[in-house]
Amino acid sequence: MILDRLEKMPVGSFHYKLLLVTGLGWLFDSMDTGLISFVLPVLAKEWGLTPDQMGWIGSVGLVGMALGAVISGTVADRIGRKKVFTITVLMYAIATGMCALAWNYEALLFFRFLVGFGLGGELPVAATLMSEYAPTKLRGRFIVLLESFWGLGWLAAACIAYLLIPEFGWKMAFLIGSLPALYVFLIRLHMPESVRYLISQKKLDEAKEIILSLEKKLHVDSQPFTNELSPAEQGSVEANNAGTGALWSGKYIKRTIMLWLAWFGIVFSYYGIFMWLPSIVFKQGFAVVKTFEYVLIMTLAQLPGYYCAAWLVDVIGRKYTLSIFLLMSGVASYFFGNAGSSETLLIWGATMSFFNLGAWGVIYTYTPELYPTSMRALGSGWAAGFGRIGGMIAPALVGIMIGNQMGIDKVFMMFAGVFIIVSVVVLAMGTETRQKQLEDI
């Protein structure tokens, strides 16, 4: 019984090392997303970009992310989580370095598309892999902690922007963003393939070898394996390589609709707000360096948001934590858009960061749990991919709204409404997965 032995393993150095390796991928992805946000105001001034053009620089990366999430999620259920994770990390790192060589607006758009494809492909696959190794009782906490590396990446981006962009220019930021290419060697050395994936592909000998290796590392007494499969393992083999249509069959229809709407709303609001955040604060009358300081402080608030969500998902559950954090993100967004002073702008910006990024942690926990192994990466990839459509629309829409002289308050009233709607959707349609083994959900 391979899965029984995986589930009974004590939490130890292996789990934390896997969290660190996948988390670093998350950190580098976030750093790249943050860098383009901080580069945009400087690039707009140097190249004389219109608000519409600035919006499309943000949106084209989301087009790539949507395609990357769907294609990588589908492929990861066929060739494995580890291979896809490695390929996508290498792709976005190299493409980020190429952004420093962009000679005009069109070239930058092309490279940002490639960056987005790699980035979008890596995130759902990493979350799927981590969820398939984390023990049931702490699975939610591990995935939210994985997502918390996103906040660290934004902090890294803010520091690069604050310390290096004023001194060395925007190209240096992208060159630093290419360094994760070296991280691929860590993946190859310290990240095993998913045992659950190997079972679904009938590669039982490989799965057993990994279990024996982990038991040795975690000082667990190993026993010989029997050739008998548990009902959960047998079901995983029989359901191998489910197609996209399976997302819309049986009990998964309701889950898919809920996840796609939740992903659309959270991605629409996040990228619409945070891609424009430095530029919006700049429009309020602050100098560029001052803008970086303000956004850095707002970004710091993301970390306690993650840690609060990491605790709540295993206490009150995924559905209620996600719904509450989305609702409070909407409230904070409204008051941020109507802030009348730098102090209130900062307070509501920090509150918005706290709840918004906590919600991201929960949705990455929740999504892979709602599908079986044979379609877990597929379901996660399609949900994230559909969500990226919202991310494509939002930055360009904000650019158009600002270009048409619509006030910042109107922009944030729109985001507040979206957050509140998806909060209700999750509450009404969500299925609770807290403290359940993946095969029992």
For residue 318, give the CATH number of its domain. 1.20.1250.20
| Mean pLDDT score, 129-133 | 88
Kindly give the residue spans of alpha helices, DSSP state H, lying in 49-80.
51-79
Would you say residue 206 has pLDDT above 80? yes
Angle of the 252-274 helix axis to the 51-79 helix axis, nearest 10:
140
Which of 405, 281, 425, 406 shows the shortest CA–CA distance to 359?
Answer: 425
Domain count, the chain: 1
Structural domain including 117 reads 2-440
Tell me what pLDDT residue 201 has: 85
| Mean pLDDT score, 45-54 | 83
Tell me what pLDDT residue 138 has: 85
pLDDT over 90 percentage in the chain = 23
Tell me what pLDDT residue 318 has: 93
Between 227 and 29, residue with greater pLDDT: 29
CA distance 173 to 43: 12
pTM of the full structure: 0.83
| Confidence class for position 35, pLDDT limits 50, 70, 90 | confident
User: Considering only 27-41, 216-230, 352-366, which range has the smallest mean pLDDT?
Assistant: 216-230
| Mean pLDDT score, 389-412 | 81
Is residue 47 exposed (0-12), middle (13-18) or buried (19+ Cβ within 10 Å)?
Answer: middle
Kindly give the residue spans of alpha helices, DSSP state H, lying in 218-251.
231-238
How much is the mean pLDDT over the chain? 84
